[in-house]
């Protein structure tokens, strides 16, 4: 454990900077959303239109990838996008660091994605049916399937962590080496990269989940077709 | 780059809490308001479709009524045309009758005017003829014509009908009966003698006679016997001619 990043301890728990930053992000997001959605109108104003645009765009993106799953996956995928984008952008603020620049945070998110893939897959057809796709087309494929699941989860965590950490490190280095205004292009690149990485992470999560659901659907439809034929 | 399990677990919890918070404060309210708006839009669309359906029904109903009205109007127009033709025929017949009556009236008027003109022309012609005869006979009047008129009276007495002769006899039989002789000029003795002789023969007795001269008679004589008058004068003949000519017309 990096003892420098521990802010305080809560009993046996050592609360680190990424956790505190995450709480701050959560608090800000919750307060902002609570205020923004307190008086929603059927005839929306500019801010409500922007809010509906964000939620509608996320919903439509999910629905395009997984039709009829928009509402069900919106909380998880939408929160991934929003949280990661804001968490990435926090690093731009002076004196703050991105929670996603910590491997524990990105690992936690990747593990959640890993679990959600199986959660939504099992909810679709049940545990037995979902489990059987790991031995398809042959039981020999089981280790490869497991390795694939683990590797892509690790890749998910490391990709986000690596990108954010490298950007923050590069910005700090440029700031130390060069003058005050020189890091501005690097910070702009940081903003773009933060948004892109958030989009990539959320999109990959969506693709993985849709893969788990659709593999089940494909298999079940194949079985139904075989029974009917 | 190291994994802190405490942070790892807390971040998992944090993210799950954030998922719940955003679901509670962002996704659900926004999706609800979008759903309500879509519901309102759907309701408005349904209302609009119903209104369109009603409008279409009303339009079809209106067009049907319009077509019925057009057909009824066409029927009314045809009936009105027939009535107008019948009324025109009736009025034309009436007008023809009035024109015929007017024509007849005009013809009658023209005939009457023609008759009046003819009568006036006849009167003028008679007046001219009378004037001519009066001037001619006036120039011929004299003792000789008087004598000829006495002869004519004597001849007429001889040819009088029996009924008139009897009436003369009765008049002459009255005790105070007399003869009144009126002449245009004094008669000659011979004519006077012949006249008295003829009168006595016709009346069957001799009556006293009084004489009178009337130049307006132009020529000839008148003999009065009681209420009767025997005339053979030029004036009386001209009067007879005038009245006779008028009756002839």
pLDDT in tens, A123-133: 877 788 777 77
The verdict on residue B1 lying in a domain is: no
Q: Is pLDDT of B203 > 80?
A: yes
Q: Judge whether A60 is closer than 8 Å to chain B, CB to CB.
A: no
Q: How far apart are CA B191 and CA B143, in angstroms?
A: 10
Q: Does A108 contact chain B (CB < 8 Å)?
A: yes
B94-118: average pLDDT:
93
The structural domains of chain A, with segments of one domain joined by +, span 50-92+107-128+139-218
Complex ipTM, two decimals? 0.87
* Range of lowest pLDDT (A49-58, A90-99, A176-185, B129-138): A176-185
User: Which chain B residue has the Cα nearest residue A15?
Assistant: B7
- Contacts across the A-B interface (CB distance below 8 Å): 119
The overall pTM is greater than 0.90: no
Is A76 touching B (CB cutoff 8 A)?
yes
The CA distance from B15 to the nearest CA of chain A, in Å, is 8
- Whether residue B20 is predicted with pLDDT greater than 90 in this model: the reply is yes
CATH number, residue B176: 3.30.2320
Q: Which domain holds residue B213?
A: 143-248
| Model pLDDT, residue A229 | 34
A177: DSSP letter: H
Of A181 and A216, which is predicted with more confidence? A181
* Per-residue confidence (pLDDT) for residue A227, from 0 to 100: 40
Under 8 Å CB-to-CB from A74, ≥6 apart: which residues? A55, A58, A59, A62, B27, B31
CA angle B210, B212, B217 (to 5 degrees): 140
B17 found inside a domain: no
Inter-chain touch A1–B2, beta carbons under 8 Å: yes
Share of chain A above pLDDT 90, in %: 28
Mean pLDDT across B78-105: 94
Asked if residue B166 is part of any domain, the answer here is yes
State residue B84's pLDDT score: 94
* A103 inside 8 A of chain B by CB: yes
Other Cβ atoms within 10 Å of A84 Cβ, number: 28
Q: Residues of B near A (CB-CB distance < 8 A)? A: 1-12, 14-23, 25-27, 29-34, 36-37, 40
The total domain count for chain B is 1
DSSP-H helix ranges across chain B = 5-22, 28-140, 143-158, 162-172, 189-203, 234-248
Output the pLDDT for position B246: 59
Tokens describing residue B177: 């009966």
As given in the structure block, the two tokens for residue A24 are 């701050």
Q: Taking CB atoms and an 8 Å cutoff, what residues of chain A touch B8?
A: 104-105, 107-108, 111
Q: Which of B4, B5, B24, B41 to mutate to test the interface with A (most CBs of A within 10 A)?
A: B4
Condensed to tens digits (0 to 9), the pLDDT of residues B33-76 reads 999 998 999 999 999 999 999 999 999 999 999 999 999 999 99
In a domain, B223, yes or no: yes
Q: How confident is the model at residue A25 (pLDDT cuts 50, 70, 90)?
A: very high
pLDDT more than 70, % of chain A = 88
């Amino acid at each position: 454990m990096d003892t420098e990043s521990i802010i305080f301890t809560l009993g046996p728990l050592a609360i680190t900077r990424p956790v505190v930053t995450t709480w701050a992000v959560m608090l800000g997001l919750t307060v902002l959303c609570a205020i923004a959605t307190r008086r929603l109108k059927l005839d929306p104003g500019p801010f409500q239109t922007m809010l509906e645009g964000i939620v509608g765009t996320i919903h439509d993106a999910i629905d395009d990838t997984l039709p009829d799953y928009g509402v069900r996956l919106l909380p998880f995928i939408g929160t991934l996008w929003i949280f990661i984008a804001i968490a990435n952008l926090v690093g731009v603020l002076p004196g703050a660091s991105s929670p996603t620049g910590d491997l524990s945070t990105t690992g936690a998110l990747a593990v959640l994605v890993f679990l959600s893939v199986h959660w939504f897959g099992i909810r679709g057809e049940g545990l037995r049916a979902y489990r059987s796709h790991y031995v398809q087309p042959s039981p020999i494929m089981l280790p490869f399937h497991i390795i694939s699941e683990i590797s892509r989860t690790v890749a998910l965590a490391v990709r986000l962590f690596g990108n954010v950490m490298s950007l923050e490190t590069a910005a700090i280095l440029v700031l130390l080496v060069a003058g005050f205004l020189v890091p501005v292009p690097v910070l702009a690149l940081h903003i773009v990269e933060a948004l892109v990485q958030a989009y990539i992470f959320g999109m990959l999560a969506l693709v993985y989940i849709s893969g788990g659901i659709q593999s089940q659907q494909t298999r079940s439809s194949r079985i139904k077709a075989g029974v009917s034929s | 780059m190291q994994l802190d399990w405490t942070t790892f677990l807390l971040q998992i919890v944090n993210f799950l809490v954030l998922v719940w918070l955003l679901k509670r404060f962002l996704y659900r309210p926004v999706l609800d308001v979008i759903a309500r708006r879509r519901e309102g839009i759907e309701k408005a669309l349904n209302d609009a479709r119903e209104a369109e359906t009603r409008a279409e029904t009303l339009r079809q109903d209106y067009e049907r009524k319009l077509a019925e009205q057009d057909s009824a109007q066409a029927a009314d127009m045809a009936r009105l045309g027939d009535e107008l033709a019948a009324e025109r025929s009736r009025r034309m017949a009436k007008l023809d009758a009035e024109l015929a009556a007017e024509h007849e009236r005009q013809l009658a008027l023209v005939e009457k005017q023609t008759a009046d003109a003819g009568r006036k022309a006849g009167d003028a012609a008679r007046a001219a003829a009378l004037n001519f005869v009066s001037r001619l006979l006036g120039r011929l009047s004299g003792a000789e014509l008087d004598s000829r008129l006495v002869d004519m009276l004597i001849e007429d007495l001889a040819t009088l009908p029996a009924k008139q002769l009897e009436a003369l006899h009765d008049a002459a039989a009255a005790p105070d009966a007399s003869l009144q002789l009126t002449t245009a000029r004094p008669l000659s003795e011979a004519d006077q003698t012949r006249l008295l002789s003829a009168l006595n023969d016709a009346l069957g007795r001799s009556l006293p006679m009084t004489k009178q001269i009337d130049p307006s008679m132009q020529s000839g004589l008148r003999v009065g016997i009681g209420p009767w008058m025997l005339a053979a004068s030029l004036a009386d003949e001209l009067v007879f001619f005038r009245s006779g000519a008028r009756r002839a017309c």
